[in-house]
Chain A
């Protein structure tokens, strides 16, 4: 069933996308403004369920890549992602039925909506990770045999580049990143062009709607003064993410950050109110592991989200700081992201961790839905 996404969905979508950004993915504020402006000018966006697609339809996903810090200064012309989309259509000599996110966490939940509004094409409700990841090959599309190439990349001058590295999506990532730096640190891309059949086979369905539901749930819980975490856990059981586990409620007592080769990596320590338990979150742009008292409680590709304790507002790794009262939650990833071939691409080893993946629901017992003390 298709539905219309309009201005009234944006605030919820932004908050949900920030949560699924799992500490990274960029500040969706600029993206949200872009979508608002586009919807005001061109009208609401039609959202298609994955099942609305015909098997032979062409879908061309769109995204921004590069540094969000740069993107907040050199704002887009607004035509870049559209240009990348059209360039790939021309290159493939085929009209696309719709665009789609490759990454629903953070800023990239917004870019396809802007393309959809401007071109009057629908957006498919789904993506290739159900969260944020730092590199272009980290996609269920890639894992299940959809090639990221050809990739069209566009800058604000109307320049476009086609990158074709055949089946090698890691090489595609490297080439695209190098050109992104030449374009000033931010570029817009269209890649993973695929058929409706491939979308149904490889995409994670319904993730845009999940973002909106997460945002809505948090907002409603705040308005009714109920515990947003409890409400979130309930909502997530009805999504492909499946489960939410509370890993720790407590206070940030230490944050360490370093940079290397475009990655911010570091850790934050969070102690429980009674001081008995300490959780350490490690991040590499996004949060990648959570360990309580030396015991692993969640690991990538499961989602680790640090939320402000009272409001459940997602906190990015850049804005983590001492003293914040937080709830750290682990959220499951769908089964297609936990297979051996998926874990090879974005499992612990892909982030330099010598750990085996264990699902968050096996590492943690379910917390009964009684509102725990929030202080």
Chain B
């Protein structure tokens, strides 16, 4: 059995699953202190369905701990950015474009040294190790406690980041955390460097959080491994979380989509995750969210994390409903977490989307008599408006005109109809309200590469085979049982304005977690 917990902005959801069967589930308001909220969730889960230590293979947690630390700019480590790329790149030094508040919060210092690679693997310049050492000495004098190292084209060749890390450790001692960009981001120097700096600034708090979560498990007598959800919906062992906390930033939407895939059996389709205030729509391919190719701003910092490609609208179960000039207006404002107090069906005085769904007979929550007075025509207009806007949104993320399976999850998904015009049938699986926690519980592990290759028609197949193999190897290294690994994404994007058929290749593989007691194949 596994336990999945997903900490969201409003609710913390938890499930106990065996295989794909949900044995117990619960939903709680997220507490100010996220860690103690997780403790409460685990305790309540055990109360509802008593389990003992030996029953549990793993606890999987998707959490907002780290993004919150960045948003609040609290407890960030004094961080140095070391960039390897001179003589190139100096026009835009590290921290360019950062909000001043965050530059201060990480006590930023930056260093540029000679080195780096070209897209084809040639050196821009040899790595200047003496400059790396003097940078490290300056870091030591200035109280730097975490280091982010970024070398130009390190996704093509990581040798300089690795060598610089050794040199920095020589000077600062092995205890100072060092974050390497090729392990964190992809091509696009500033974005990858930003992500690496953010990661470095979270390294100290990562230790505190991981230890806190471990203590909770120990207090509850649980000795199983602890995993955190990654942005891409796969798992990180806690040791890895200490090194790459930034990879946990956006696990919420991904966990919902993964959970939707599992609960519904739909591998390719759209997922509509309806919360209290908004609906998120994303596309599943091979059971995983399609990822965004464009830059993502995190707290005002441009990054290129692989985040799910999600579009949102301000329609949720708590959306306020107004009728103006005979037209039904849904949201974008919402009663948020006060739904169970403010909505008509819960004895409140605010007309919400949930009330409309109850009046229309598509949901049965609360007191149906409280909405009996609503004009049936208005109710059906509002349902049609919700369906129409959701359909437009789903249509905007389709990749073809083929019929599309739609899976509805999230507590608010009771407001959706059984059919979306021009799209198809809407499936709302059992346990839809806790799909995100299920997504966390059943997650796999992954490995990926993102690199520019020079291909010709003769070498293309060989290059792609190599890329596939490397992604598989990385997945196994991340803890997957080798027989379970499969490729879930393979993208070739030609690099424009560059002769010689340079192609950017992205491959991602996933596999089932190898159980601790399982013999190594």
Contacts and interface: CB of A to CB of B under 8 A. Distances in A.
A287 interface: no
Contacts of A185: 118-119, 495, 498, 502
Nearest to A33: B92
- For A70, A181, A324, the residue with the greatest tally of chain B CB atoms inside 10 Å of its CB is A70
Interface string A29-43: 110011001100000
B142 interface: no
A285 B496 contact: yes
Interface stretch (A49-57, A211-219, A232-240, A261-269): A261-269
B501 A259 contact: yes
A34 B500 contact: no
Interface string B398-421: 111100000000000000000000
B96 A33 contact: yes
A73 B152 CA distance: 6
A372 interface: no
A319 B395 CA distance: 17
A37 B96 contact: yes
A120 interface: no
B347 interface: no
A26 interface: yes
B129 to A, nearest CB: 19
B504 interface: yes
A260 interface: yes
A87 interface: no
A276 B498 CA distance: 38
A3 interface: no
A68 B96 contact: no
Contact of A77 (B89, B496, B497): B89
B496 A318 contact: yes
Given A74-B124, A75-B85, A75-B92, A26 B190 contact: no
Chain A interface size range: 35 or more
B90 interface: yes
Interface in A70-112: 70, 72-79
Nearest to B90: A77
A259 to B, nearest CB: 3
Interface in B183-222: 187-190
A24 B496 contact: yes
B85 A74 contact: yes
A156 B88 contact: yes
Q: Do most interface residues of chain B lie in helix, strand or loop, or is the interface mixed?
A: loop
Contacts of B499: 177, 181, 261-262
- For A29, A66, A323, A375, the residue with the greatest tally of chain B CB atoms inside 10 Å of its CB is A323
A194 B283 CA distance: 53
Interface in A311-366: 318-319, 321-325
Contacts of A69: 187, 452, 495-496, 498, 504
A262 B400 CA distance: 27
B231 interface: no
B153 interface: yes
Contacts of A254: 400-401
A73 B496 contact: no
Contacts of B116: 74
Contacts of A177: 499
Contacts of A70: 119, 495, 498
B300 interface: no
Interface of A: 24, 26, 29-30, 33-34, 37-38, 65-70, 72-79, 114, 134, 156-158, 177, 181, 184-185, 251, 253-254, 257-264, 285, 318-319, 321-325, 375
13 contacts: A33-B190, A34-B92, A38-B91, A67-B498, A69-B504, A72-B187, A74-B89, A76-B88, A77-B90, A79-B91, A156-B88, A184-B118, A184-B122
3 shortest A-B CB distances, which residue pairs? A78-B91, A259-B494, A262-B499
